[in-house]
Amino acid sequence: MGQDSLYGMKTRTLEGKEADLSQYAGKVTLVVNVASECGFTPQYKGLEKLHAELKDRNFAVLGFPSNDFGGQEPGTAEEIRSFCSTKYKVTFPMFEKVVTKAGGGQSAIYATLQAQAKELPDWNFCKYLVGKDGRVLKFFKSKVKPDDAGLRREIEAALK
């Protein structure tokens, strides 16, 4: 994986453990900036359904909590995990809270996604479809729900 591949990067899990994204090399992923107090938060249900349905086909949803928009992810890692587990039964990988916006504190992961997609989230629950090589295939705005037919078509095409 090249330096410009998402799968060549390291981060931390929501619990603060080292996480090497190379474990997703060869898989298709949907990278989502999530938040617990947003109007789009019910998308957790659809994201979990998508993850559960496709995980055996080398697909994963990767959640990156962010407090960038409307202060809608104010919680600690423990509070975020508790919320996701109890309210939405989230089993897909969740990572440490990040800054998605461009600037000094921006996560290296979001800087890489931005460089590839030429787009950054403008609200919570924006989605990057990342191919098996760790490069962004497509960017989807918040309003595109996990069960959107267009999103599903793109995922299916990437899985082929």
Mean pLDDT computed over 74-81: 96
How many domains are contained in the chain?
A: 1
56 assigned to some structural domain? yes
Q: What is the per-residue DSSP string for 120-142?
A: --SSTT-EEEE-TTS-EEEEE-T
Report the chain's mean pLDDT, rounded to a whole number. Answer: 96
61 assigned to some structural domain? yes
| pLDDT class of 4 with cuts at 50, 70, 90 | confident
Question: What is the side-by-side strand order in the sheet with 28-34?
Answer: 59-65, 28-34, 127-130, 136-140
Euclidean distance between CA atoms 129 and 139, whole angstroms: 6
Q: Give the domain CATH number at 89.
A: 3.40.30.10
Q: Which of 153, 100, 95 is nearest to 129 (CA)?
A: 153
79 assigned to some structural domain? yes
15 assigned to some structural domain? yes
* Residue 121, number of CB atoms within 10 A of its CB: 23
66 assigned to some structural domain? yes
Mean pLDDT computed over 72-95: 96
- Sequence-distant (≥ 6) Cβ neighbours of residue 125 within 8 angstroms: 32, 33, 34, 35, 38, 40, 41, 43, 142
Tokens 């957790």 — which residue? 44
pLDDT given at position 3? 54
Segments forming the whole domain that contains residue 42:
6-151
Q: What is the pLDDT of residues 92-137, one digit of tens each?
A: 999 999 999 999 899 999 999 999 999 999 999 999 999 999 999 9
Q: Does the pLDDT value for residue 63 go beyond 60?
A: yes
- The residues annotated with a catalytic role in the active site are 38
Q: What is the pLDDT of residues 17-38, one digit of tens each?
A: 999 999 999 999 999 999 999 9
Phi, psi (deg, nearest 5) at residue 46 = -70, -35
State the distance between the two ends of the chain, measured CA to CA, in whole angstroms: 20
Query: Would the pTM count as exceeding 0.85?
Result: yes
Q: Does the pLDDT value for residue 61 go beyond 70?
A: yes
Round the CA-based radius of gyration of the chain to a whole number and report it: 14
82 assigned to some structural domain? yes
160 assigned to some structural domain? no
159 assigned to some structural domain? no
